[in-house]
Structure 1
Amino acid sequence: MMGDRSLLRNFIEKFMGTVRFGNDNFAAITGYGDYVQGNITIFHVYYVEGDDLLIGGRESNLYTISISDMATSSHVCLMSKATSTKSWLWHRRLSHLNFGTINDLTRLDLVDGLPKFKYGKDYLCFTCERGKSKKASHPPKMVPSDHSKLELIHMDLCGLMREA
């Protein structure tokens, strides 16, 4: 998604829904187009109207921002004010980190801007629940393989093996 419509080619103006940002603000997706940068084309890029809060660069898979350049151009406050009802907001901002670890980060003062209060969980996060769910690798057998008690069952548990 991007906020500069002039960089999108083959733009189609169509309401596509909304996007939710890390600070719980919403913005409308008002269309999509193709983003062309040199010989690379990214198709179906959403256009979202909004102000850029942070602009940074990427070098060797590390994203960096320049706080001094940003401070001179705008009045953006990076320190967030949160209450105990914002525990879930910080849970999402910290990539669904568990609440015990978030409380340790707060207690040991390891993260700048993380409000100091007791983070609590009052329900199970749907995203965390789906991330921890496991799919059965094989469907259960309807007919048993053994025909009598203490009969041997031969199974291949580790695939092909080379003999010495």
Structure 2
Amino acid sequence: MCKEEQEEEWLIDSAFSLHMTGRLEYLRDFMPICNGENVTFDNNVNRIIKGYSVLTAWNFSIQKVAYVEGFKHNLINVGQLCKAGYQVKFDNEYCYIMTSDRSTCLIKSKSEGTMYPLDVSLIIGKPQFCFLSKAVSEVSWLWHRKLVHLEFRYINNLVTGEFV
């Protein structure tokens, strides 16, 4: 399959039961699985889940995104977002993905007809410029940006009190 045939945008979806993509380069911390489950699509085509990973934008991360080799679309599942603690709200124009207490809107995506493309800037693959944090990923990325891209190991040292 050519990459040119694959979608680049992500769609917020309620029909599928998983976050899914066929683009491994969009994912970070990929964990392959040996005996992946089959996914059956509307046209009775079966694909195998090859593993799970994390999709990271600048202000949040989506866990357990299935990599389905040969899948042409990129889908974010509403139910899985809700189970992860996010609030998802739709109106005539927008989809809002918010923190569980609704105090912060993480993403506001404008509808295109009946579809809601996810309007985010993704961090493609594993960032080369910083280390992974031991703190909650959303908070870590926020402080990483506020501290002008300070390495995560230094942010962790600040949190644990190793710097005054």
* Band the TM-score falls in, shorter-chain normalisation: 0.3 to 0.5
Return the TM-score normalized by structure 1.
Answer: 0.33
Question: Higher RCO, 1 or 2 (CA under 8 Å, sep at least 6)?
Answer: 2
TM-score, normalised to structure 2's length?
0.33
Report which of the two has the higher share of strand. 2
